[in-house]
Amino acid sequence: MSEQPLIQLEGVTKVFVTEDVETHALSGIHLEIRKGEYVSIAGPSGCGKSTLLAILGLLDSPTEGAYTLNGQAVGNLKLGDRARIRNREIGFIFQAFNLIGDLTVYENVELPLTYRGMGGAERRKRVHEALERVGMGHRVKHYPSQLSGGQQQRVAVARALVGSPSILLADEPTGNLDSANGEQVMELLKELHRSGATICMVTHDPRYALLADRSVHLFDGRIVEEGQIQAQSTGAAS
């Protein structure tokens, strides 16, 4: 792994204000993620996990503090600049899959490349490679409704991968799956990590948190524990 952090948060705070009520979702977060790392973010409901992931994914901005991605300060960019960097640097894997129902598997995976204005031949090459990588190359003409939950999540992983992002952000990627499909998706993420992908995953499942290189535990918007995870054998990792 490289010496320069891929992601660096310094003193990040997020406060939501509704009428006269202030909610401190994050308080003084300091976090580094290096290229090639697999980091899990864990903690109870309402501890700030999703807010932290939204800031990392440039879907939201911190109230205070600094966010550096690939050496660039990105914490307080304008919406258009955030969208452009998000499209090129960040791949998202959501709990609810977020596939577009009236688009085929191929078209769902192609969509982020279309937003880049990439040529048709390059798009086709990348889409087929991404779908083959997740074992869904035989389903290009199917629609999401024709797939199981596990297959839909594999397509969502292909969509996240297709643009060769700097980091994959996974938000409870097994939350809508049964245990068998959940373990298959976790094994897929592990394979991607072995091949060099940088992954940051929010999970409520302690078994899956242990599959990462490093675990970060949040409580009431603060990092209360952080450390390396010892390699171990679990059913999901086998």
Each residue of 52-87: pLDDT tens digit?
Answer: 999 999 999 999 999 999 999 998 899 999 999 999
> Which residues make Cβ contacts (< 8 Å) with residue 219, sequence separation at least 6?
43, 44, 47
Name the band, by pLDDT with cuts 50, 70 and 90, for residue 233.
very low
For the ranges 35-39, 70-74, 198-202, 228-232, the lowest mean pLDDT is seen at 228-232
The pLDDT assigned to 227 comes to: 83
The pLDDT assigned to 205 comes to: 84
The pLDDT assigned to 231 comes to: 57
> Which residues make Cβ contacts (< 8 Å) with residue 41, sequence separation at least 6?
49, 52, 53, 200, 201, 202, 203, 215, 216, 218
CA angle 167, 140, 91 (to 5 degrees): 10
The pLDDT assigned to 4 comes to: 83
Q: Are 223 and 216 in contact (CB under 8 A)?
A: yes
Name the band, by pLDDT with cuts 50, 70 and 90, for residue 204.
confident
Report whether pLDDT(162) > 50: yes
Q: What percent of the chain is predicted at pLDDT more than 90?
A: 82
Report whether pLDDT(142) > 90: yes
Report whether pLDDT(217) > 60: yes
Angle between helix axes 105-116 and 149-161 (nearest 10 degrees) is 20
Q: Which residues pair with 58 in a beta bridge?
A: none
Residue 61 CB burial class (10 angstroms; 0-12, 13-18, ≥19) = middle
Tell me the one-letter amino acid at 200.
C
Q: Summarize pLDDT for 84-112 with one digit per residue, the tens.
A: 999 999 999 999 999 999 999 999 999 99
Report whether pLDDT(237) > 80: no
Place of tokens 């899990």: 40
Read off the tokens for 170: 């996974």
The pLDDT assigned to 207 comes to: 86
* CB-CB neighbours of 171 under 10 Å: 21
The CATH architecture of the domain made up of 7-228 is 3-Layer(aba) Sandwich (3.40)
Mean of per-residue pLDDT scores for the chain? 91
Report whether pLDDT(30) > 50: yes
What is d(CA 151, CA 154) in angstroms, rounded to the nearest whole number?
5
Q: What percent of the chain is predicted at pLDDT more than 70?
A: 95
Nearest to 1, CA basis, from 35, 26, 40, 27: 35
